[in-house]
A and B are shown apart, each in its own frame.
Chain A
Amino acid sequence: GQNIDQPTEMTATEGAIVQINCTYQTSGFNGLFWYQQHAGEAPTFLSYNVLDGLEEKGRFSSFLSRSKGYSYLLLKELQMKDSASYLCAALDSNYQLIWGAGTKLIIKP
């Protein structure tokens, strides 16, 4: 079956760095997305990886290892506004998105 695993909740301190991990098992693979979702709002796009390696975009970076079925989202210089849920989603061979349950990130001052 198809499955996405990510931690349910993480806590970090303002100004620090946090890494949110995601492992996936899908029928075929056409890339991995990370989305940010604040409570009561729709998800917003953060990153898309299809090749192995690290993609850096400002304070956020995303890493992919296709051989390991593993990705992580790295958030640096954490701000209070980064408190949100972070959703990992893999694109399968039919270009359907398989969603993880999301990681709720709590930022403490």
Chain B
Amino acid sequence: GAVVSQHPSWVICKSGTSVKIECRSLDFQATTMFWYRQFPKQSLMLMATSNEGSKATYEQGVEKDKFLINHASLTLSTLTVTSAHPEDSSFYICSAREQDYGYTFGSGTRLTVV
């Protein structure tokens, strides 16, 4: 089956620094990838949709200058949290669309900003 690899699984960083999260589709080409954020005991919140070779589409309320998304190839999308602050601490999950309706999730990244 389709596999999406997400790294790192967890990261702790100092306030003001930047963190990059990678999402790779291992055995299929993902023209579209999705980035979600999930706070404790809440559902997934879509942050942005990234399409290979074009700019990401951000959901309302998500700062595009803070959450930089790059989808440079059909198998790799990255999310960079710039100038991270404690309120950015969350669980970040990527998802790739395999076919018209197939979605596979990465294992998630637990970000803690101290």
Binding site for B on A (CB under 8 A): 30-31, 33, 35, 40-45, 48, 50, 87, 91, 95-97, 99-102, 104
Q: Mark B72-114, 1 if CB is under 8 A from A, else 0.
A: 0000000000000000000101000100110111111010000
Q: Given A42-B107, A45-B103, A100–B43 Cβ distance below 8 Å?
A: yes
Identify B93's interface contact among A31, A42, A102, CB under 8 A.
A42
Chain A proximity of B47: nearest CB distance (Å)? 13
Q: Is the CB of B101 within 8 A of A42?
A: no
> Which residues of B line the A interface, CB within 8 A?
6, 34, 41-44, 46, 49, 91, 93, 97, 100-101, 103-108, 110
Other A-B contacts than A42-B106, A42-B108, A99-B43, 5 sampled, CB-CB below 8 A, are: A30-B101, A48-B101, A96-B46, A97-B34, A101-B42
Instruction: Provide 8 A-B residue pairs closer than 8 Å at the C-beta atoms, listed in order of the A residue.
Output: A31-B101, A41-B107, A42-B105, A42-B107, A43-B44, A48-B101, A99-B43, A99-B46
A87 close to B101 (CB less than 8 A) = no
Closest to A98 in B: B46
Docked CA distance A97–B93 (Å) = 14
Whether B101 pairs with A43 at a CB distance below 8 angstroms is: no
Interface SS, A side = loop
Nearest first, the 10 A-B pairs at minimum CB distance are A42-B108, A101-B43, A42-B105, A102-B43, A42-B93, A99-B44, A99-B43, A42-B107, A43-B105, A31-B101
